[in-house]
Amino acid sequence: MENKQEFTGMPLLGDDFPKMTVQTTRGMKVLPDDYKGQWFVLFSHPADFTPVCTTEFVAFQTRYEKFKALNCELIGMSVDQIFSHIKWEEWIKEKLGVEIQFPIIADTGAVAGRLGLIHPGKGTNTVRAVLIVDGNGKIRIIFYYPQELGRNMDEILRAIEAMQIADKNKVAMPAQWPNGELFGDHVIVPPATDVDAANERMKNQEKNGYQCLDWWLCHKPLNK
């Protein structure tokens, strides 16, 4: 693994996850190649042996099987040595009864630099970033949190499931899905792109299994 920081700018949605070899608590890994065909969540935390980060690792591990059910792996990271990660894992298991089973990257600063995970306005540690990468190695979702705020892992799970459904069914997902105020667990049908399609949609919405407030705002149950 590279030992010096390399700043190439923050990755953007739709970018390929940059190829890198990293040392983790589960051995050396090549990202994203080792997860081809599988989604993964790379999440950074400010430091080992810190209160909020400890609660986050317990929360991620508690939901680990739910992530795996979505064909998604978890990968933690911070600018800490591998020895610190291992000792922290031992502490969590001994004191809290939770065994961390996913890998944690030991970073020298090179990974954080390439991924834009150190924000000068928030100090010299990595922010609480979440990069969600699909099975083709594309970055699909990015969340950033300040050091003071712990993440909501259920929202991360929801986001992954929603994106996978959107990809498979060529639909969009409304706010608060699957418990939306307007459409409940329905999904959004992409808007028509020409006049004929718009007119046809309104005339035949029942036949097509749609419910439309207008030609540009139609929804449907996921199984139709």
Is 122 in the same domain as 75?
A: yes
Is 189 in the same domain as 92?
A: no
Task: Please name which of 222, 224, 102 lies closest in space to residue 162, comparing C-alpha atoms.
Answer: 222
Could you tell me if residue 3 is inside a domain?
no
Residue 44's pLDDT is: 93
Question: What CA–CA distance (Å, rounded) separates 198 from 191?
Answer: 8
Could you tell me if residue 212 is inside a domain?
yes
Where is the domain boundary, 151, 184, 215? 151
Question: What CA–CA distance (Å, rounded) separates 143 from 11?
Answer: 12
Which CATH number goes with the domain that contains 216? 3.30.1020.10
- Sheet with 187-189: strands ordered across: 187-189, 217-220, 211-214
Could you tell me if residue 199 is inside a domain?
yes
Question: What CA–CA distance (Å, rounded) separates 98 from 62?
Answer: 8
Where is the domain boundary, 106, 123, 151? 151
Which CATH number goes with the domain that contains 93? 3.40.30.10
pTM score, whole prediction: 0.89
Could you tell me if residue 9 is inside a domain?
no
10-residue mean pLDDT profile of the chain (224 residues): values are: 50 93 96 96 94 97 98 94 96 97 91 81 75 97 91 97 96 95 94 88 86 92 78
Residue 1's pLDDT is: 43
Residue 110's pLDDT is: 85
Query: Pairing between strand 27-31 and 20-24?
Result: antiparallel
Question: What CA–CA distance (Å, rounded) separates 214 from 202?
Answer: 7
Is 41 in the same domain as 127?
A: yes
Report the domain count for the chain: 2
Residue 4's pLDDT is: 43
Question: What CA–CA distance (Å, rounded) separates 209 from 194?
Answer: 20
Q: Containing domain of residue 176, as a range?
A: 170-224
DSSP secondary structure, 152-193, as one string: -HHHHHHHHHHHHHHHHHT-B--TTTTSBTTTBT-EEEPPP-
Could you tell me if residue 27 is inside a domain?
yes
The residues assigned a catalytic role are 53
Is 58 in the same domain as 126?
A: yes
Is 64 in the same domain as 106?
A: yes
Local structure of residue 116 (DSSP, 8 states): T
Is 218 in the same domain as 186?
A: yes
Where is the domain boundary, 151, 186, 209? 151
Could you tell me if residue 159 is inside a domain?
no
Residue 120's pLDDT is: 67
Is 113 in the same domain as 184?
A: no
